[in-house]
Amino acid sequence: MADQGVAGHAVGRYLVFDEIAAGGMASVHFGRMTGAAGFARTVAIKRLHAQFAKEPEFLSMFIDEARLASRIAHPNVVSTIDIVDDHGEMLLVMDYVFGASLSHLCQRVRARGEAVPFGIAVSVMVGALYGLQAAHEARSDAGEPLGVVHRDVSPQNILVGMDGVARMVDFGIGKALGRLQTTREGQVKGKSAYMAPEQIRGLAVDCRTDVYAASVVLWEALTGARLFACEHPLATINAVFEKVVPLASEVRPSVPAEVAAIVARGLARDPDERFPTARAMAMALESAVHPASTREVGDWVKAEAAEILARRSQRAAEIESSSGMGLVAAAAASAIGLPVVAEGDVLTDASHISDVKPRRRWGGVLALGGTVLVLASLAAVWAVVPRATVAPPPLALPASSAIPSASVGAEPAPPPEPAPPPAISTADAAATASPRGAGPSAPHGKPVLRPPPAAPRCDPPYSLDPDGTRHWKSGC
């Protein structure tokens, strides 16, 4: 399955994009889960390497264990969403965590000769332990214990998000991988530096096996050093059985003695001397010191992984803005000069169009349909938006016809009695005469409409001036 860059590669309801990280067993990719009504969600897709995907025995065990892992629902566990078999290639679909692995974070501080601040280290491991406890307590639909043991607790499998929450990942894979390596090669390889002695011997494992591995991870985070890592795998295995493990406080004096003692108990070679459950160890750590808050852990992650987080955030934004209808809407809006459209937390514009490779089967239909919908919506909006035209000037009314304002709830005033028109002389009538329909100009050059003059009173048909001269009234 070749990666398709921004356009992605369709596998069922998923689009698989470029690689986020790679390990000895699988590579992790950005993915988009699509659904009806334009639903889309960013996910992480783990793609098994070819040598594992071609092993029928491993695939069978892997699927069985992944199904069990999908039953674990807890804030400190990365949920398994789906398993996809794409022509012999196995894909594991998981929640996407915006953060970094504890391995990456520890490498950063170790390169400076430092260690993880003990409050943050304790907070991260307490969260991981509670996630392990949720897995150990998982039950079937019938209420029977599933007996889930992670078997591969390591810094690589603890993700710390920008929200300050630690999450365990890859439940079930450790068991399938370990059984394949044992049956095919006759020996145990992999992350032997974190394996409990009973696991290396091939004996029965239980929740205390995960407690041991978690204790190794915490010891290394607190001290800034590796505990059992050696250049040769056999030397590492010998160290697990024979090395005298110093207290974390002896290697790093800033580590509280109570925390160092808890870690030492978790590292006991005899399972009966360890904490009986992951929850018991988490509660002991919480009682010994005050773990850092999620805000403090999140700020630390942002500071230590700023570069990788910025790069992944930009890539995720490109994928989200260029997949689905968001790109079509942004292209249409840009073409007609509208502002860019917000899709989720990402502002999309037409700058991604040249990078997109639409899917051959239905990408063209989707793009055409999306464009039609966008243009139809814009037409509907255009129809109801008032036009920016010049409004006609207001019609001026005579003062006598103005409507008086009244306060709400007041009784309307009765209309005034009409007064009789005053008598006017012929000279006055001539002086005030105007063309029919015309009157004095109102603002904007429009005439003011006045009512026609009242008929003259013709009884008597004349008027007298002071010297007794009669003046006949016009119209009588």
CB neighbourhood size of 103 (10 A) = 17
> What are residue 32's DSSP bridge partners?
15, 42
Of 401 and 136, the one with more pLDDT: 136
Q: What is the pLDDT of residue 315?
A: 86
334-369 per-position pLDDT tens digit: 333 333 333 333 323 333 333 333 334 444 444 445
Task: Tell me the pTM.
Answer: 0.65
Q: Region 310-314: what's the mean pLDDT?
A: 88
pLDDT bracket for residue 378 (50, 70, 90) = low
Query: Quick one: CA torsion of 261, 262, 268, 272, rounded to 10 degrees?
Result: 130
The span from the CA of 311 to the CA of 280, in Å, is 38
Q: How far apart are CA 164 and CA 315, in angstroms?
A: 22
pLDDT at 189 over 60: no
What pLDDT is stored for residue 400 in this prediction? 39
Q: List beta partners, residue 95.
A: 43
Q: What is the pLDDT of residue 369?
A: 52
**Topology given in CATH for the domain delimited by 1-96:** Phosphorylase Kinase; domain 1 (3.30.200)
User: Rounded to the nearest 5°, which phi and psi values hold at 218?
Assistant: -65, -40
Q: pLDDT at residue 385 above 80?
A: no
Residue type, 284: A
248 alpha carbon, distance to own chain's centre: 38
| Residue type for position 341 | V
Tokens of 30: 């950005």
Per-residue pLDDT at 39: 83
Give the residues across from 84 on adjacent strands: 91
Judge whether 218 and 210 are in contact, CB under 8 Å: no
Looking at mean pLDDT, say which of 35-44, 112-121, 345-354, 417-426 comes out highest: 112-121
pLDDT for position 313: 87
Alpha-helical (H) ranges within 323-362 are 325-335
Tokens 């196995």 sit at which residue? 90
Residue 312 is predicted with a pLDDT of: 87
Which residue has tokens 């139809």?
376
Q: How far, in Å, CA of 192 to CA of 194, rounded?
A: 5
Of the candidates 1, 34, 33, 35, the residue with the CA atom closest to the CA atom of residue 18: 1
Q: Please report the sign of the dihedral spanned by the C-alpha atoms of residue 282, residue 286, residue 289, residue 292.
A: positive
Q: Does the structure show a pLDDT above 60 at 386? A: no
Tell me whether domains 1-96 and 97-306 share a fold.
no
d(CA 122, CA 284): 11
pLDDT > 80? residue 152:
yes
C-alpha 473/C-alpha 458 separation (Å) is 7
The pLDDT tens digits for 196-254 are 999 999 899 999 999 999 999 999 999 999 999 888 889 999 999 999 999 999 999 99
> Is pLDDT above 80 for 318?
yes
Q: Is 152 a catalytic residue?
A: yes
Alpha-carbon torsion (244, 250, 254, 260), positive or negative: positive
**SS3 at position 196:** coil
Percent with pLDDT over 70 in the chain: 63
Q: Give pLDDT, residue 301.
A: 97
Q: Is the pLDDT of residue 408 over 50?
A: no
Only one residue has tokens 């994928």, namely 319
Q: What is the mean pLDDT of residues 64-76?
A: 84
Residue 124 parent element (H or E): helix 118-136
**How high is the mean pLDDT of the chain?**
74
Residue 330 has pLDDT above 50, yes or no: no
Give the C-alpha separation, 176 to 91, whole Å: 15
Q: Is the peptide bond before 421 cis (omega within 30 degrees of 0)?
A: no
The answer as to CATH 1.20.1250.20 being correct for domain 97-306 is no
pLDDT tens-place string over residues 15-50: 889 888 887 677 889 998 887 877 888 899 988 887
Domain locations in the chain? 1-96, 97-306
Q: Is 409 left (phi over 0), alpha (psi -120 to 50) or beta?
A: left
Model confidence at 442: pLDDT above 50: no
Q: How many CA atoms lie within 13 A of 438 on its CB side?
A: 8
Q: With bands split at pLDDT 50, 70 and 90, how would you rate the model's confidence at 419?
A: low
Token pair 């007041």 in the structure block, residue: 410
Structure confidence by residue, pLDDT tens digits, 260-288: 999 999 999 999 999 999 999 999 999 99
Instruction: Write down the catalytic residue from 3, 152, 355, 467.
Output: 152
Would you say residue 290 has pLDDT above 80? yes
